[in-house]
Chain A
Amino acid sequence: MEVKSLELNTEQLMEIYYFMRLGRAIEERLELLYKGGRLPGAIYLGRGQEAIEVGASYALEPGDVLAPTHRDMMSQLPRGITAREVFAQHYARANSLTHGKGEDNYQGDLKRGTFATVSMLPNFYPVATGAALAFKLRKEKRVAMPYSGEGATSRGDWHESLNIASVQNLPVVFIVINNGYAYSTPVNKEMKVANVADRACAYAMPGVVVDGNDVLECYREVKKAVERARDGGGPTLIEAKTMRMRGHAGHDPAKYMATEIIDLWTRRDPIVRFENYLTDRGLLSEESKQGVINRVTSEVEDAVRFAEESPYPEGKEAIEDVYAQ
């Protein structure tokens, strides 16, 4: 099968830029809607994580599967999840991907190779590992990629997944987004190791640390791991160092985060960095940048209108689809 190369062409670079901008525009609107009391549920923003969110999942091919968490909506955009689907989900409408049953960012679509997460994390580490097992049993050249925050790496099934994936030599690329905090708990209270990726040696697999705010480094390192897995080389653990630039959820002002830290990471904004990269190479002008911003803004406008005009499910649907036929 044909896969994307490590060095991306202009069209692909601009596509990545578009996804990052779209992700941020969606989240900014979600934040406004949440603060305005327009959403029935919660919001979990990944602002500041755009580079790893988009860069890693962009390395997948159409037949592969992505298993995001509640904070990784942006990772689903390269899989084809649309702004309309994201807002319909938050607005709890009948036409959302989970039919009003699932909340917030918990959308997915197996046909487009992305799971609908649950709140318990990292539950999709084992699930993605099992998907990879199915690929291996059927001799399909497909790859599974679960995301996890560094917070969930403290749980047993995170380790169980890495262990079994290694023992069974499964095509999995384990992504850890180390964004500094598990809700309010800083990394130094979560673990003693300097890097989550250091744990890879315990499972005899490569462990890679990437700059989680550099989208091209994220893409390249993940792509190498994806194609290694596809070729039977087994799993890889990739840790992206970044910062969660908002609280755990919309209600959390994150007063536990020092302003110096926020200021430091604001200067490392992954979108600004990528814009500088593109501009330096003559790929992005002020005009074309504004074009992308206008495009995502109107997409978000359309998606919000679409969601608000979409009907709620009927109450009686609450007891439907508990079981498959």
Chain B
Amino acid sequence: MSTRNDQKETSYIDAISQALWEEMERDPGVFMMGEDIGIYGGAFKVTQGFIDHFGPERIIETPIAEEGFIGMAVGAALMGMRPVVEVQYADFISCGWDQIVNTAAKMHYRTREAVPMVIRGPSGAGLRAGPFHSQSPEGWFAHVPGLKVIVPGTPYDAKGLLKAAIRDNNPVIYFEHKYLYRRLKEVLPTEDYTVPIGKADVQRAGDDVTIVTYGAMLQTAMEAASKAQEKGISVEVVDLRTIYPLDKETILNSVAKTNKAIMLYEDTRTLGIGAEVSAIIAEEGFENLDGPIIRVSSPDAPVPYSPPLEDFFLPQVDDVLAAIDKLSAY
């Protein structure tokens, strides 16, 4: 754990560590399970120093057994604990898929017993990590009733939403974008705070076109918005923050104002979150649209390793600008 100096800027990864640390201090029912999270401090060092402070009872280093320890989290949660599971990379969450979608997600529906647990892990591409360390699996889980899904795009939201997730009485999937870990910094409040689950945030106000995005693509959207401004186009950027439940109100209000919508998401194109948001706008905001809803996303392909391939794969600022230009015709 890095030293906390509230006047200093806090990185996205340190914001996550702080949220975990403070929630473990606040609530003795919170404990962590995962691979290498103890002495080693986790693959990305999110839990560095935790085991010295909280001890091996609450910082549990597990064997490589995602299905096992995710299922264990369900059991501990049913017994009144608040487990936080780290999957070393979000990609590995598929190894525990069954326990998440069949045991955890459907428990309250059937029995009205709460399953307060968080599964968190680093997602996303851009680090030349190849097909198995770069995926954006949020769409898989947003499709499963009973789960909440969060992908924060800023240090402030990363901390506030993780705290909210740990205090929530449902299974929450929390993906932290590893590209942002040490690239984003901001000054965080000194006092305890949470960010409500299910609320989007207008990161930049504008009048001419709305970009709905989340995660690391928020940075791409903000850069594209600045460049568009130079050409006199005013772009509004909506950061979803929570993927499920979606904040329809903020999305529809923005589109009602700008009358144009671009979905920008790093997940692959088909049935990605942008597809769902597009459908919501088409169903409930149709009267406000002046042009087609445009999706800017990764293509329907695995995430490739080689730099030119990955750069081609990921949505770039120029792709967003091209979409903005296209909408200018309407």
Seen from chain A, the residues whose Cβ lies within 8 Å of a Cβ on chain B are 65, 97-99, 101-102, 106, 108-110, 115-116, 118-120, 123-137, 144, 156-157, 160-161, 163-164, 167-168, 321-325
Asked if B207 CB lies within 8 Å of chain A CBs, one says no
**A163-B78 contact given A106-B110, A137-B31, A324-B108, CB 8 Å threshold:** no
B residues near A119, Cβ cutoff 8 Å: 102
Q: For the complex, give the distance between the alpha carbons of A19 and B113 in Å.
A: 27
B residues near A156, Cβ cutoff 8 Å: 67
Q: For the complex, give the distance between the alpha carbons of A23 and B73 in Å.
A: 32
Structural contact, B108 and A323, CB atoms closer than 8 A: yes
B residues near A126, Cβ cutoff 8 Å: 67-72, 74-75, 99
Of the A-B pairs whose beta carbons lie under 8 Å apart in the complex, a sample of 15, sorted by A's number, is A98-B111, A102-B111, A118-B103, A127-B75, A129-B68, A129-B75, A133-B60, A137-B31, A157-B68, A157-B98, A322-B146, A323-B108, A324-B108, A324-B116, A324-B169
Q: For the complex, give the distance between the alpha carbons of A167 and B145 in Å.
A: 34
A261 to chain B, nearest CB (A): 32
**A110-B113 contact given A126-B75, A164-B65, CB 8 Å threshold:** yes
Q: For the complex, give the distance between the alpha carbons of A160 and B75 in Å.
A: 15
Structural contact, A131 and B76, CB atoms closer than 8 A: yes
B residues near A135, Cβ cutoff 8 Å: 79
Structural contact, A134 and B81, CB atoms closer than 8 A: yes
Asked if B131 CB lies within 8 Å of chain A CBs, one says no
Minimum CB distance partner of A127 in chain B: B75
Asked if B57 CB lies within 8 Å of chain A CBs, one says yes
**A130-B67 contact given A137-B31, A324-B115, CB 8 Å threshold:** no
Asked if B45 CB lies within 8 Å of chain A CBs, one says no
Apart from A110-B111, A137-B57, what are 18 other A-B pairs with CB-CB below 8 Å? A98-B111, A108-B111, A110-B113, A116-B111, A119-B102, A120-B98, A123-B103, A126-B70, A126-B72, A131-B75, A133-B72, A134-B80, A157-B99, A160-B68, A160-B69, A164-B62, A323-B108, A324-B114
B residues near A136, Cβ cutoff 8 Å: 57
Q: For the complex, give the distance between the alpha carbons of A129 and B146 in Å.
A: 22
A residues near B81, Cβ cutoff 8 Å: 134, 137
Q: For the complex, give the distance between the alpha carbons of A106 and B62 in Å.
A: 30
Structural contact, B72 and A101, CB atoms closer than 8 A: no
A residues near B98, Cβ cutoff 8 Å: 120, 123, 157
A residues near B169, Cβ cutoff 8 Å: 324-325
Structural contact, B76 and A130, CB atoms closer than 8 A: yes
Asked if B128 CB lies within 8 Å of chain A CBs, one says no
**A131-B65 contact given A116-B110, A123-B102, A324-B114, CB 8 Å threshold:** no
Minimum CB distance partner of A111 in chain B: B113
Structural contact, A102 and B68, CB atoms closer than 8 A: no
Q: For the complex, give the distance between the alpha carbons of A67 and B108 in Å.
A: 16
Question: Which of B72, B98, B110, B116 has most chain A Cβ within 10 Å?
Answer: B72
A residues near B73, Cβ cutoff 8 Å: 130
B165 to chain A, nearest CB (A): 13
Minimum CB distance partner of B70 in chain A: A126
Q: For the complex, give the distance between the alpha carbons of A271 and B73 in Å.
A: 38
Structural contact, B170 and A323, CB atoms closer than 8 A: yes
Contact of A323 among B75, B80, B146 (CB under 8 A): B146
Q: For the complex, give the distance between the alpha carbons of A259 and B200 in Å.
A: 65
Minimum CB distance partner of B145 in chain A: A322
A residues near B58, Cβ cutoff 8 Å: 137
B residues near A131, Cβ cutoff 8 Å: 75-76, 78-79
Structural contact, B63 and A110, CB atoms closer than 8 A: no
Contact of B63 among A97, A125, A160, A322 (CB under 8 A): A160
Asked if B132 CB lies within 8 Å of chain A CBs, one says no
Structural contact, B170 and A164, CB atoms closer than 8 A: no
Interface string of B303-318 (1 = CB under 8 A from A): 0000000000000000
Structural contact, B63 and A127, CB atoms closer than 8 A: no
**A118-B102 contact given A156-B67, A321-B108, CB 8 Å threshold:** yes
Contact of B72 among A102, A127, A324 (CB under 8 A): A127
Minimum CB distance partner of B115 in chain A: A324
Give the contacts of B29-81 with A (CB-CB under 8 A).
31, 57-58, 60, 62-63, 65, 67-81
B112 to chain A, nearest CB (A): 6
Minimum CB distance partner of A110 in chain B: B113
B residues near A98, Cβ cutoff 8 Å: 110-111
Structural contact, A163 and B75, CB atoms closer than 8 A: no
Contact of A118 among B60, B67, B106, B170 (CB under 8 A): B106
Structural contact, A160 and B145, CB atoms closer than 8 A: no
Asked if B140 CB lies within 8 Å of chain A CBs, one says no
Structural contact, A97 and B111, CB atoms closer than 8 A: yes
Minimum CB distance partner of A126 in chain B: B71
Minimum CB distance partner of A137 in chain B: B57
Q: For the complex, give the distance between the alpha carbons of A322 and B107 in Å.
A: 9
Structural contact, A321 and B112, CB atoms closer than 8 A: yes
Q: For the complex, give the distance between the alpha carbons of A310 and B80 in Å.
A: 32
Structural contact, B110 and A101, CB atoms closer than 8 A: yes
Give the contacts of B98-155 with A (CB-CB under 8 A).
98-99, 102-103, 106-116, 145-146, 148
A residues near B107, Cβ cutoff 8 Å: 116
Q: For the complex, give the distance between the alpha carbons of A209 and B169 in Å.
A: 40
B residues near A115, Cβ cutoff 8 Å: 78
Q: For the complex, give the distance between the alpha carbons of A142 and B301 in Å.
A: 49
Structural contact, A102 and B57, CB atoms closer than 8 A: no
Minimum CB distance partner of B58 in chain A: A137
